[in-house]
Amino acid sequence: MATGWLMRSDIVVTAGSNVFDWTNLARPLGKAMQIKCYIGYHGGSSVGAPSVQFRLAKAVVTTPEWLAGPDNRHRDIAFLQLDRPFEGNLRLFGRKETTPVQGHFMLGVVGYPGDKGRDAGLYDEYGGEMYEMFTTQKYNLHDPPSNNAAGLLEYDISTRGGQAGSPVLRKDVDSMTVIGTHVHRTGEKGRASVIGHHGNDYNMMLEAFDVDLPVISDSNGIRLVQHPISTPIQSPGDFDIISPGAFGLASPASTVLETPIDCDSWVAVSRKGFPVGGAVPPHLIKTSVGQGLSLGHGIVGPLTPPDENIIRLPVGNLLEVFGSPVSPGDGF
């Protein structure tokens, strides 16, 4: 299970680790083949309730750096396009076009932690309820990185497995704004990949679903595409973006609840260090046949009513099936 957030009614933002798995380096699960998304989710018994909506992902946009290996956390990001939009008053978050380089803000991470059950002291679907934590944080993206955290936003906010893909929110008097996407935790620090000039260009990734852009290579069902504009990136290494492009989308799934759909439409975003015009190295794309990834929804704690922006992504069964169980907190 994992978390995501709605950028628009048919687009979910989440961590790259939720769509391309590197948990076991000796046998990575590779790309997700089926992805389920819920909003309003608060435990398995809530599925089918009027307040819960279910969708399937039909296309994925991510970065080739994340496909290349798990150390590229600054490129740990993915966008999902749904088979049909969520409906109703979704109260979408605003977001910064570029994560502020430095700040002293009230920040929070909101998602589905895998160590939290719905009943205190009793086992009842850990990861089935949304939780939040907001604290005042001071950060500077230009500070010397700790433990290979180059290009990441770090914060002292408690997170656990299941919260990868959660929005990192800046809370002001009358609004909450997304400034990054939580990707993992190491020690006492949570970390997020950031937006814009210092991280990942969300606008260009969004274009991948809406604009036909040239495909420069295709390997194991993942297409590397090129955007006509190259934007300088000010994160370590001074990478240049060759951004995502559009790509053939799968047919919409049946509207019957829980009907699977193959998520066979993938786009990767190229940067300096990946050969433009060359084939994506085959060893980077490890596809596990039958791999499934579920996504769902929720928001934590005292946020009432549950915010229709946060999406829950259950992945626990996926990891168990492939013999690589992950304890809450590992890798997130």
pLDDT at res. 126: 76
The whole-number average pLDDT for the span 275-291 is 29
Residue 144 pLDDT grade (very low, low, confident, very high; cuts 50, 70, 90): low
Please state the separation of Cα 122 from the chain's center in Å: 29
Q: Name the 3-class secondary structure at 317.
A: helix
Residue 324 has pLDDT above 60, yes or no: no
Residue 293 has pLDDT above 90, yes or no: no
Residue 143 pLDDT grade (very low, low, confident, very high; cuts 50, 70, 90): confident
pLDDT at res. 24: 76
Weakest mean pLDDT among 49-63, 205-219, 301-315: 301-315
pLDDT tens across 160-194, in order?
878 899 999 999 988 889 999 999 888 788 899 99
pLDDT at res. 41: 86
Q: From residue 215, give the alpha-carbon distance in Å to each of 223, 226, 242, 244, 329.
A: 6, 7, 12, 9, 37
The whole-number average pLDDT for the span 237-247 is 27
pLDDT at res. 229: 61
**Exposed, middle or buried by CB within 10 Å (0-12, 13-18, 19+), for 282?**
exposed
Residue 26 pLDDT grade (very low, low, confident, very high; cuts 50, 70, 90): confident
Residue 87 has pLDDT above 90, yes or no: yes
Residue 329 has pLDDT above 50, yes or no: no
Average pLDDT, the chain: 69
d(CA 196, CA 96): 8
Radius of gyration of the chain (CA): 18
Residue 250 pLDDT grade (very low, low, confident, very high; cuts 50, 70, 90): very low
Fold (topology level) of 2-321: Thrombin, subunit H (2.40.10)
pLDDT at res. 29: 78
pLDDT at res. 146: 59
pLDDT at res. 173: 86
The whole-number average pLDDT for the span 59-65 is 87
Q: Name the 3-class secondary structure at 187.
A: coil
The whole-number average pLDDT for the span 66-92 is 90
The dihedrals phi and psi of 284, each to the nearest 5 degrees, come to -75, -20
Residues 6+ apart with CB under 8 A from 111: 3, 130, 131, 159, 162, 163, 165, 166, 167, 182, 298, 300, 310, 312
Please work out, in degrees rounded to the nearest 5, the angle formed at the alpha carbon of residue 53 by the alpha carbons of 47 and 56: 100
pLDDT at res. 57: 92
Question: Where are the domains positioned within the chain?
Answer: 2-321
- Residue with more model confidence, 255 or 305: 305
Residue 136 pLDDT grade (very low, low, confident, very high; cuts 50, 70, 90): very high
